[in-house]
């Protein structure tokens, strides 16, 4: 079980066996058989989920291969706090991308539920969920045309048809935030560098103001400087209403608050503070 996680916020009760703690009041009623240290940790955990923007409970993911079920994730739970970036690491083929796709409701789960701000994903239409929980794939999937064409692309989709698309001034602000002012809205995307294209793809995701960003190795093909710029951009997007889980194979860039490691269907967590990483 991942540290800081196994809780059911909206029911106001820790899922940990024997725990009677109410995270809403932050009062410890009784944690039967727990030491003082365990009780304190339990309190921390309930507080952690109370503060979490996104959480996943008892998620199992598998696929069928030759009639057999292959399990990629087994009954795991985790939470993402608002304002924080988290890394997701693990060997190739272990199921990291599958987990992100499941979080974006792009594939079925065997078990478990996802929550955004305490609201279960089952209460959302998939398209509405994906507007809030946005998956950005590894390849910057830009369409032919200008930077502006790409940034307003989400508003061309039926699901966002009733929403006002951002003005050029608002788009220019986004470019400035990503250190792309010199690129400009009228630049054809075929004339962007790989790092610039990756940032435009991220800005397109930011422009729709999702609460949860799921980034699938968006910096994989970039040089170190461009990867750092992407990390800085993601970090700058974090606020009290956003969180981010990103798959990375690179060395820590210091922007993550913690790292989830996936191996053999098990998810473990280490906070950056525990790792001694720079926050």
Ligand X SMILES: Nc1ncnc2c1ncn2[C@@H]1O[C@H](COP(=O)(O)OP(=O)(O)OP(=O)(O)O)[C@@H](O)[C@H]1O
Which residue number, 9 or 212, has a Cβ lying nearer to ligand X? 212
- Closest among 195, 168, 206 to 184, alpha carbons compared: 168
**Measured from the CB of residue 217, what is the shortest distance to ligand X in angstroms?**
7
| Residue 132 backbone dihedrals phi, psi, to 5 degrees | -90, -30
220: three-class secondary structure by DSSP:
coil
Tokens 């309930």 belong to which residue?
A: 46
DSSP summary character for residue 188: B
Stretch of 10-18, 20-28, 87-95, 140-148 lying at the interface with ligand X (CB under 6 A): 87-95
Which residue number, 82 or 261, has a Cβ lying nearer to ligand X? 261
Binding mask 55-84 for ligand X (x = CB under 6 A): --------x-x------x------------
Which residue number, 8 or 96, has a Cβ lying nearer to ligand X? 96
Residue 269 touches ligand X, criterion: CB under 6 A: no
Tokens 């790989």 belong to which residue?
A: 194
As a whole number of Å, the end-to-end CA separation of the chain is 24
- For ligand X, which residue of 92, 161, 162, 240 counts as binding (CB under 6 A)? 92
Which residue number, 67 or 93, has a Cβ lying nearer to ligand X? 93
- What is the widest separation between alpha-carbon atoms in the chain? 65
* Euclidean distance between CA atoms 102 and 59, whole angstroms: 9
Contact residues toward ligand X (CB under 6 A) are 63, 65, 72, 90, 92-98
């Amino acid at each position: 079980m991942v540290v800081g996680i196994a809780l059911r916020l909206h029911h106001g009760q820790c899922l940990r066996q024997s725990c009677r703690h109410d995270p809403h009041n932050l009062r410890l009623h009784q944690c039967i058989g727990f030491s003082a240290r365990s009780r304190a940790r339990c309190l921390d955990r309930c507080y952690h989920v109370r503060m979490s923007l996104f959480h996943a409970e008892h998620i199992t993911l598998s696929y069928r291969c030759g009639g057999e079920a292959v399990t990629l994730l087994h009954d795991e739970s985790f939470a993402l706090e608002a304002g924080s970036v988290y890394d997701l690491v693990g060997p190739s083929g272990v199921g990291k991308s599958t987990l992100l796709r499941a979080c974006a409701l792009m594939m079925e789960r065997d078990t478990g539920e996802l929550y955004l701000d305490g609201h279960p994903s089952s209460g959302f239409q998939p398209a509405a969920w994906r507007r809030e929980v946005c998956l950005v794939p590894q390849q910057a999937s830009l369409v032919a045309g200008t930077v502006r064409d790409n940034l307003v692309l989400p508003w061309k989709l039926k699901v966002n048809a009733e929403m006002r698309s951002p003005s050029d001034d608002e788009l220019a602000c986004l470019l400035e935030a990503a250190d792309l002012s010199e690129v400009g809205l009228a630049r054809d995307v075929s004339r962007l560098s790989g790092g610039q294209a990756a940032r435009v793809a991220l800005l397109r995701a930011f422009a729709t103001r999702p609460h949860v960003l799921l980034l699938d190795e968006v910096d994989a093909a970039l040089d170190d400087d461009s990867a750092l710029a992407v990390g800085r951009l993601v970090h700058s997007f974090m606020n009290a209403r956003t969180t981010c889980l990103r798959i990375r194979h690179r060395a820590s860039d210091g922007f993550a608050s913690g790292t989830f490691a996936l191996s053999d269907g098990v998810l473990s967590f280490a906070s950056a503070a525990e790792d001694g990483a720079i926050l």
